[in-house]
Structures are given as C-alpha cells and as structure tokens.
Structure 1
Amino acid sequence: MKNKVVVVTGASGGVGRAVVRRLAARGATVALIARGTTGLGSAAVEAGAAGGAGLVYEADVSDYQQVREAAEQIERDVGPIDAWINVAFSSVFAPFPEITPEEFERATQVTYLGYVWGTRVALDLMRPRDRGTIVQAGSALAYRGIPLQAAYCGAKHAIKGFTESVRTELLGERSGIRITMVQLPALNTPQFSWVLSKLGRHPQPVPPIYDPEVAARALVFAAEHPERREYWVGGSTVATLLAQRIAPGLLDRYLARTGQESQQTKAQAPTGVANLWKPADEDDDYGAHGTFGHRSHAHSAQAWLSRHRRAALTLAGGAVVAVLARRRRS
C-alpha cells in the first residue's frame, strides 16, 4: 500500500476508521468518504499521525452523483485511484414488520447501493488503466440471515451476488482489475450505539465479538492480495457459514430461539441518536470502537491463518515430518 491512493467509504467511524489508520501506517494516501464532518476530520488527523496522508471528501454513498464527483476530485487532487474499499452502511434494528418502507428503502440505498455506486465509479476510473482493486466489506450475514436485521442481511446478501456477477464479467474480459469480498464477524464498533433501533434494550453484536482492527487487517490484506475471491474472518464466521451449508433448517430453528435475545443487552436502548437519515458523527466523534471493549477480542487465530495459509501449511507439514521421523527412530 506504500504510495498507493486508496479510497475508503464509511471512513469516519467503526471498521472504516480502523482501515484508514492501517492503510496510513503502511504509507498509503487515503481518501476518506463519509457524511460526518467531525468523524472525517478526526480520521484524517489519525491518518497523518500514523505516517500516511488522509484527505476528506464528504459525500453520501447512496447518491451516485456525489460518489462520482468525490472520486473525480480525488484523482485531480492526488492521482489515479489504486484501490477502493467499500465499508459504509446503515441499518435498522427491529422486527421486519416494524421497519417502515421508507426506513427499509433508505437502509438498502446506503448499504447495498452505496457499494454498487462505489464499485461502478471505481470501475469507470480504473478500466482505462486496466488495473486496480475493489474490496467489499462483507459479513457472515451475507450468507446467513438473522432476526432483527432484515434490512442489513438483505443488503449483504445482495452485495455478495452483485460482486460475484461483476467478478465474472471482469474475468470474462481478462481485465487487470480485481474484486474481492471479506466476510466479517461481529465487531465492537459504534454501530450499536448509532444505528436506528426500535428494540427495548441496547443492541449488541452476537458474541464472540472482535475489535475493528481485526477487520481492518483483513481488509487491507485483501487489498494487497485480491487474487483470492473471498476471505472469511473469525472462527464464528467460519462456523456460521459451514453450518449454513450443512444444516440451514436446523440453524433457522436455533436462531428463532436465540437470535433476538443474543442481540440485546440488559441495558435500556439508546435514544436520540440514529445515523440512518443524517450522520451521527456530525458533531461528535465516535471513533472506531464501540462500547463492548471489555468483551471483544483483539486478535483472531483463524484470520491470521487465513492470511498466512502458506506459512501455516509449511509449519504443519514440518510438524508432520518431525513426528514421522521421531516414530521411525523409535
């Protein structure tokens, strides 16, 4: 990533904020796209402190024209975009019948169409050069829907299908542009404090919970190694996706019993903050981390193994050889 120009949507908070810091630490020039001016400004300062450069471009990703204008300005300011990482989203925590059509439409525009517009703009700019990388921040919920998150799960499923379609088109064209997707686990981000919630209690990520830096490491690695079509991050993600393949009906019944309770704490739901229609970090900086730091994991062994498969296989092979040699000597 050194000296590369990288766009990050949703850069003002949560996973996007952690991605900005990691890219900057690796010497990238990071173009930050989001709505919240306070969060964007703080993220840009952190990028500079990390050793890179952060430039702010305020835009609503649900609006294609705003995304297009921001991208064109980025290329005028700092040169051709090398990588584009889509992270931005918004959603509603509620049973499906309690989500209004307007709320569902807005969540879909931001979370799904935001990725579509980002991908479209990135491709338009990268195609004449026949090079570039697009990374989609996904979720285990791109494969497995859960209660109370119909809008988010629907959008993540749609992003997966959309990305697969674009990938096959690029392969058919023998394009030099690569697109990959990173399926993430539950993360300790501010979303559980600022996403619109109609629940009686404070929403929470389904444990086990990981720090946003776990996601950032995976997303930046994917930008550097886009030859793999998809990355899975976290043991819980792997377990969920495998269970969905093997016994989806059993998983339906399990989530029907546990899905709602596991997504709520005992605390009262926050009031007065929701980023669906306007940025929550317009005046306040929420940063990358949420309120579950006492329960979140800073590392994932599975994610490390996924990034270092060759080294892991080499170590495993060496261990097998050593065991066999010991047996022969005995």
Structure 2
Amino acid sequence: MADRTVVITGASAGIGRAAAVAFARGGAKVALLARGEEGLDGASREVAQAGGTPLAIPVDVADADAVEAAATRVERDLGLIDVWVNNAFASVFAPFDEISADEFRRVTEVCYLGFVHGTHAALARMKPRDRGVVVQVGSALGERSIPLQSAYCGAKHAVNGFTSSVRTELMHEGSQVRITVVQMPAVNTPQFSWVRSRLPRHPQPVPPIYQPEVAARAVVHAADHPRRKQYYVGASTVATIWANRFAGPLLDRYLARTGYDSQQTEQPARPDREGNLWHPSDGAQGHDFGAHGEFDEQAHGASWEAALARHPAVGAGALTLAGAAGIVALRRAVGGR
C-alpha cells in the first residue's frame, strides 16, 4: 500500500478508524471521511503516527454532492484514488414499529445510499484509468437479518445486491476495476455507546465479538487481493450465512427466542440516550471515541476464518466444516426441530 491513496468513509471510529491505521502502516495516503471532527482529528493523528499521510474531510455520506466534492479534494491534495472503502454506519436499535419513517430513511441513506454515493464517486475516477478497488464493509446481517435491527439489515442486504449488480457490469465491460465485500461479524466498536436505541437495556454486539483490528486486516487484504466475490470474517459470520442458506426456518426460531436478549447487556439504558443518528456523538460529548468500544474484555483479537481467507486453497474446506458445525449447533439449540 506504499504511496497508494485510500479513501475510507466512517473513518472517525470503529472499523474505519482501525482500517485507516492499518493502511497507514503500509505507507498509504489515507483520506478520512466522517461527520465527527473530534474523531477525525484523532484518526489523523493515529494515521500520521503509523507512517501514513492523513487528510481529514468532514462529510455526511448521505449527501451525494458532498461525497463527490470530497473525492475531488482527495485527488487534488493526495493523488489519484487507488482504493475506496465504504464503511459509514448509522442505525436504530428498536422493534420495527417503534422506528419512525424519518429514522428508517436516515439509516438507509447512510448505510445503503452512502455506499452507492461512495462507489459512484470512486468508479467515476477509476474506470477511465481502468484500475482501482472498491471495498464494501458488509455484515453477516446483510445475509441474515436479526430482530431489532430492521433498518440496518435492510440496508446491508441492499448493499450486497447493489454490489453484485455493479460487479457484473464491470465484468461485462472488461474493466480491471475490482469491487468486493468483506462480511463482518460482531465487532467491538463505539457504535454501541452512541447508536440510537429504544431498548430497555444497554445494547451490545451479539457474541462472539471481535476487535476492530481483525476487521481492519481483512479490509486491507481485500483491497490488495480483490479476487474473491466476498470475504468472511469470524466463525459467527460463516455459521450464520450457512445456517441461513440451509436451515433458515431453524434460524428464524432461534433468533425469535434469543435475538432480543443477546443484543442487550444487563445494564439499564440511560434515559438521556440520544444517539448519533442526526449528529455525530463525538462533538456533542466533546471527546474522541477511538476504534474500540466498551467490550474489550470479551473481544477476540484474531479470526482463523479471516486468516484462512488469505489462503483460499486451504480455506474453502475449513469454512465448509465451520458452516456445517454451525448448522449442527443450531439444530441442538432449537431442540432438534
């Protein structure tokens, strides 16, 4: 990644923040796009400390014109864009009928249309040069939805469908531009501290939980080796996707039984919790959240599935076994039905 220009949306925290640092360690020039200026300042410092060249641009990815202007500035200040990583996030944790139309629209604009806008800006520059990579930071929830996250799950499903369509168009054109998806597991990011939530207890990622650096390594690898249609990170991602494909009704019953409690800690929710849906939380709370959330003690620092994905010859069989094991475990969890 030395001297390459990388753009990352949602770069102020979580996976985007960790990926920015990972690219910087390879000597990349990293454009950081996000709303929160406190987080952007912190990310810029970490990129510089890691050996990269940062460029922080406050932008809301829901605004297509703002994304396009940011891309123009990146190429003016850092150079031609080699890699574009779509990662921006927003959500509402609540039953569907407790999410307003405006809230649902906002999540869709960030988590789906934000990826569309980023991809559009990237391809407008990459296709004429016939080179470049777009990496979509996806989720296991884009393959299998869970309760209490209907807006986010819908957006991630849309990203998968949209990306597949664009990929086939690039193939039809014989383009050397590549587009790939990295499907993520539950990750220990600050989103659970600032996401808008109407749950009675504090939200949490569904275990097993992984550190954002695990996700970041997968993003960097996908950018450097975009041969595969998609990458899976975490045993839970593999098991969830396989279970959904081959035992969907069992998974429905399992999630109906466990999906509410597994997304909440035992701590009651703060009554003053507002979330960052409309405004960045770092500015409102006056500090930089960083890449990590509050679940460090529970989070894994490595993923053997992601490691195997870097070696496809041995990885396919192991991932098949992991998926089969997940289905067996699911059948036991729902009583063999």
TM-score band by shorter chain is: over 0.9
Structure 1 residue aligned with 2:202: 202
> Displacement, 1:302?
1.4
Partner of 2:169: 169
Deviations 1:157-180 (A, max 9, x none): 000000000000000000010000
Write the letter of the residue equivalent to 1:286.
F
Aligned positions of 1:13-162 closer than 5 A = 13-162=13-162
Separation (CA, whole Å) in 2 of partners of 1:214 and 1:129: 32
Partner Cα distance (1:118, 1:311) in 2: 34
Counterpart for residue 287 of structure 1: 290
Match of 1:324 in 2: none
Q: For the residues of structure 1 that align with 2:8 and 2:77, how far apart are their CA atoms?
A: 16
Structure 1 match to 2:320: none
* Maintained 8 Å contact 1:2/1:26: yes
| Contact 2:196/2:273 (8 A) holds in 1 | no
Provide the alpha-carbon RMSD of the alignment: 1.1
Larger Rg: 1
1:230 maps to 230
Q: What CA deviation, in whole Å up to 9, does each residue of 1:12-43 have, x standing for no partner?
A: 00100000010000110000000000100110
Task: Determine the C-alpha separation between the residues in 1 that align with 2:310 and 2:227.
Answer: 12
Corresponding residue for 1:4? 4
Any stretches of 5+ residues in structure 1 without a counterpart?
A: 314-330
Indicate the residue corresponding to 2:261 in structure 1. 261
Instruction: Supply the distance in 2 between the matched residues of 1:281 and 1:169 (Cα, whole angstroms).
Output: 39
Structure 2: 5+ residue runs without aligned partners?
Answer: 317-337
Q: d(CA) in 1 for partners of 2:29 and 2:241?
A: 35
Answer yes or no: is the 8 Å Cα contact 2:195–2:276 preserved in 1.
Answer: yes
Quick one: distance in 2 between partners of 1:145 and 1:9? Answer: 23
Contact 1:62/1:113 (CA < 8 Å) preserved in 2?
yes
SS in 2 for 1:158: helix
Give the letter for the 1:97 counterpart: D
Query: CA 1:79 to 1:145, structure 2 compared with 1: closer, same or farther past 3 Å?
Result: same
- Please, which of 292, 296, 302 is the counterpart of residue 299 of structure 1? 302
CA positional deviation for 1:307: 1.3
- Per-residue deviation, residues 266-288 of structure 1 (Å, max 9, x unmatched): 00214334110011122320000
* Equivalent position SS for 2:154: helix
- Partners of 1:227 and 1:58 in 2: how far apart? 32
- Judge conservation of contact 1:7–1:32 (CA < 8 Å) in 2: yes
Q: Is the 8 A contact 2:24 2:51 kept in 1?
A: yes
Take 2:311 and 2:55, find their aligned partners in 1: how far apart are those partners? Answer: 31
Q: Which moved more, 1:46-55 or 1:275-284?
A: 275-284
Q: Secondary structure at 1:117's aligned position in 2? A: helix
CA distance in 2, matches of 1:311, 1:199: 42
Q: Does the CA contact (< 8 Å) of 1:7 and 1:81 recur in 2?
A: yes
Q: Displacement, 1:123? A: 0.5
Q: Compute the displacement of 1:310 (Å).
A: 4.1
Deviation at 1:309, TM superposition (A): 3.0
Q: Which moved more, 1:279-288 or 1:45-54?
A: 279-288
Partner AA of 2:150 in structure 1: A
How many percent of aligned residue pairs carry the same amino acid?
59
Q: Deviations over 1:102-151 (max 9, x none)?
A: 10001110110000000000001111111100000000001100000000
Code of the residue aligned with 1:274 in structure 2: it is: G
How far did 1:312 drift?
A: 6.4
Q: 1:312 to 1:149 in 2, by over 3 A?
A: closer
In structure 1, the residue matched to 2:322 is none
Q: Which amino acid aligns with 2:294?
A: T
| Matching residue of 2:242 | 242
**In 2, Cα distance between equivalents of 1:280 and 1:171:** 40
Q: Which amino acid aligns with 1:132?
A: G
Q: Which residue of 1 aligns with 2:333?
A: none
TM-score normalised by the chain length of structure 1: 0.93
Whole-angstrom distance in 1 between the partners of 2:287 and 2:221: 30
In 2, Cα distance between the equivalents of 1:263 and 1:3? 41
- Give, in whole Å, the separation in 1 of the partners of 2:39 and 2:149: 25
CA distance in 1, matches of 2:228, 2:178: 9
Q: Deviations over 1:287-308 (max 9, x none)?
A: 0000010100001111111112
- 2:234 is the counterpart of 1:272: no
Q: Distance in 1 between matches of 2:2 and 2:313?
A: 24
Residues paired across the two proteins, number? 313
Q: Which amino acid aligns with 1:277?
A: W
Contact 1:233 1:302 in 2 (8 A): yes
Partner residue in 2 for 1:308: 311
Secondary structure of residue in 1 paired with 2:282: coil
Over 3 Å counting, the alpha-carbon distance change for 1:311 and 1:49 in structure 2 is farther
The question of whether the paired residues in 2 share the 8 Å contact of 1:212 and 1:289 is answered with yes
Q: TM-score, normalised by structure 2?
A: 0.91
